[in-house]
């Protein structure tokens, strides 16, 4: 074992190491809290000055992470900075930056490469770099490795490189960072050893794999599995609906099978930063190998068709009440991409809102987690969340239930809405004014 590796592993094992979390978002922030909680000094590095200022004042910008937790981390030695040269203070640098698609639906690795370029001049012997952002197999070797080695350091000897995908599930009360098993691959055996030393205090169960590529592919398999199965149930939903069968009843019945079946639920389309996006990282990379990822494309097609399917159901419902959408007033319920969170990224509710607006309808939304429609790169609405009451509900020709937050009063909605388009299977009992979509 090289002296550098031994020293770094010892510093990690003794919790003398400083952990740098680069990118303090949905993934980076919980990880920061975990390392602070178990006694490490943590330095947060982010390019967003406002976020850094807020965090240094003990303020969280993520709804399900309370301010008190950030404030407590500060007392445990956490601070945040936009000064990337301070990365020198860190023994570990864990990269949690975004990996979106560009407008051609191709991987946009600019956040990862910009981060690495910003860190490069400050890298030093005895550090471990771990990439957590979801990405295609080969990213760590093709994008991080050469940048690190340009600094003159030798990966596996004087500096260590790991890929370890994040499996955060925001808003899921059953799991926390510690209890979600974590996959890790090293560029060399020594890199993996250091990676294990880095994560073993923070995570109950580590799952080492043989290469960084295997770890990158593992994360994609998980998310592709989900995207494909959601595509399947969305197709089954349409067939079941035409046959007069309730797909939710069918899924619940199938889920009683104790082996070989995992329930997935249909909905208004895919949302969030992961499932609609990550599969296409593999599609793009597979082309380099002359391969087509047909399951990914097919499920993408099915899932992306859901907002238009919901719109069709809404228009049918209004039509049966003798109304046209263009003359109607519509309330969209739940605009975050999934229940009980405030995350709007890729939310299919927003696409549905745009389709409704394009048809000329008057539109409002209600979402207890999103009080004001936020600034988004590609979408704009000057709207604030409408408070739901018996009086407000009767003012709408239809409500479209797109995100089933627990904080909605579903009985009140059922009692007072003239027409409900339910995309989430909230209302299982058939009623004349409820349409499943």
Ligand X SMILES: NC(=O)c1ccc[n+]([C@@H]2O[C@H](COP(=O)([O-])OP(=O)(O)OC[C@H]3O[C@@H](n4cnc5c(N)ncnc54)[C@H](O)[C@@H]3O)[C@@H](O)[C@H]2O)c1
Exactly one of 168, 364, 367, 397 binds ligand X (CB under 6 A); that residue is 168
Q: How far is the CB of 144 from ligand X (least distance, A)?
A: 13
Q: What are the structure tokens assigned to 245, written together?
A: 């069968």
Q: Is 114 in the site for ligand X (CB under 6 A)?
A: yes
Nearest-10 crossing angle of helices 28-37, 67-75: 40
Helices (DSSP H) in 243-347: which residue ranges?
Answer: 247-254, 279-288, 294-304, 306-320
Q: How far is the CB of 226 from ligand X (least distance, A)?
A: 12
Stretch that binds ligand X, among 132-140, 146-154, 300-308, 410-418 (CB under 6 A): 132-140
Q: What are the structure tokens assigned to 219, written together?
A: 């994360």
Half-sphere exposure of 344 (CA within 13 A, CB side): 21
Q: Is 274 a catalytic residue?
A: yes
Q: What are the structure tokens assigned to 100, written together?
A: 């979106």
Q: How far is the CB of 96 from ligand X (least distance, A)?
A: 5
Q: How far is CA 29 from the centre of its chain?
A: 13
Q: Is 5 in the site for ligand X (CB under 6 A)?
A: no
Q: Is 342 in the site for ligand X (CB under 6 A)?
A: no
Judged by CB, which is closer to ligand X: 114, or 326? 114
Q: H or E segment at 393?
A: helix 390-394
Judged by CB, which is closer to ligand X: 86, or 329? 86
Total of chain residues touching ligand X, rule CB under 6 A:
29
Active-site choice (90, 96, 191, 274): 274
Q: How far is the CB of 306 from ligand X (least distance, A)?
A: 21
What residues contact residue 304 under an 8 Å CB cut-off, 6+ apart?
269, 270
Exactly one of 87, 130, 133, 234 binds ligand X (CB under 6 A); that residue is 133
Exposure letters 189-208 (e unless 16+ CB within 10 A, then b) = ebbbbbbbbbbebbbeebeb
Interface map 262-291 toward ligand X (x if CB under 6 A):
-----------xx-----------------
Task: Report whether 247 contacts 266 (CB < 8 A).
Answer: yes
Site for ligand X in 36-75 (CB under 6 A): 45-48, 51
Rg (CA), the chain: 24
Sheet holding 127-131, edge to edge: 79-81, 41-45, 18-22, 92-95, 127-131, 159-163, 182-186, 206-209
Stretch that binds ligand X, among 131-139, 146-154, 241-249, 364-372 (CB under 6 A): 131-139
| Residue 31: strand pairing partners | none
Exactly one of 4, 26, 162, 351 binds ligand X (CB under 6 A); that residue is 26
Alpha-carbon gap, residue 255 to 242, rounded angstroms: 22
Q: Is 389 in the site for ligand X (CB under 6 A)?
A: no
Interface map 170-209 toward ligand X (x if CB under 6 A):
x---------------------------------------
Catalytic residues: 274
Where along the sequence are the contacts to ligand X (CB under 6 A)? 22-28, 45-48, 51, 96-99, 111, 114-115, 118, 132-134, 166-168, 170, 273-274
């Amino acid at each position: 074992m090289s002296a550098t590796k031994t020293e770094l592993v010892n510093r990690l094992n003794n919790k003398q190491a400083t952990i740098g979390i680069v990118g303090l978002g949905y993934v980076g922030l919980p990880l920061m809290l975990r390392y602070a909680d178990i006694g490490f000094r943590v330095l947060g590095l982010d390019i967003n000055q406002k976020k850094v200022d807020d965090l240094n004042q003990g303020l969280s910008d993520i709804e399900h992470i309370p301010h008190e937790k950030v404030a407590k981390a500060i007392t445990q030695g956490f601070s945040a900075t936009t000064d990337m040269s301070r990365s020198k203070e860190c023994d570990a640098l864990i990269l949690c930056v975004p990996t979106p698609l560009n407008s051609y639906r191709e991987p946009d690795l600019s956040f990862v490469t910009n981060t690495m370029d910003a860190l490069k001049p400050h890298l030093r012997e005895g550090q471990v770099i771990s990439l957590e952002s979801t990405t295609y197999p080969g990213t760590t070797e093709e994008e991080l490795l050469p940048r690190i080695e340009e600094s003159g350091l030798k990966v596996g000897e004087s500096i260590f490189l790991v890929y370890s995908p994040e499996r955060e599930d925001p808003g899921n009360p059953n799991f926390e960072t510690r209890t979600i098993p974590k996959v890790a691959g090293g560029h060399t055996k020594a890199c993996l050893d250091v990676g294990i030393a880095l994560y073993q205090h923070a995570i109950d169960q580590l799952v080492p794999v043989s290469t960084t590529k295997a770890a990158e592919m593992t994360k994609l398999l998980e998310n592709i599995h989900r995207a494909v199965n959601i595509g399947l149930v969305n197709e089954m939903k349409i067939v079941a609906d035409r046959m007069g069968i309730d797909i939710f009843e069918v899924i619940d019945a199938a889920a009683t099978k104790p082996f070989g079946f995992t329930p997935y639920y249909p909905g208004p389309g895919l949302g969030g930063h992961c499932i609609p996006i990550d599969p296409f990282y593999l599609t793009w990379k597979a082309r380099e190998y002359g391969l087509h990822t047909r399951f990914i494309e097919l499920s993408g097609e099915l899932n992306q068709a859901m907002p238009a399917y919901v719109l069709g159901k809404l228009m049918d419902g209004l039509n049966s009440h003798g109304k046209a959408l263009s003359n109607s007033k519509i309330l969209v319920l739940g605009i975050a991409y999934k229940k009980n969170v405030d995350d709007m990224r890729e939310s299919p509710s927003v696409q549905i809102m745009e389709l409704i607006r394009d048809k000329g309808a008057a539109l409002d939304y209600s979402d207890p987690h999103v009080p004001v429609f936020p600034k988004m790169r590609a979408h704009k609405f000057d709207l604030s969340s409408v408070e739901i009451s018996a009086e407000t509900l009767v003012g709408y020709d239809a409500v479209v239930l797109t995100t089933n937050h627990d904080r909605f009063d579903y009985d009140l909605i059922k009692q007072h809405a003239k027409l409900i388009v339910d995309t989430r299977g909230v209302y299982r009992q058939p009623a004349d004014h409820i349409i499943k979509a």
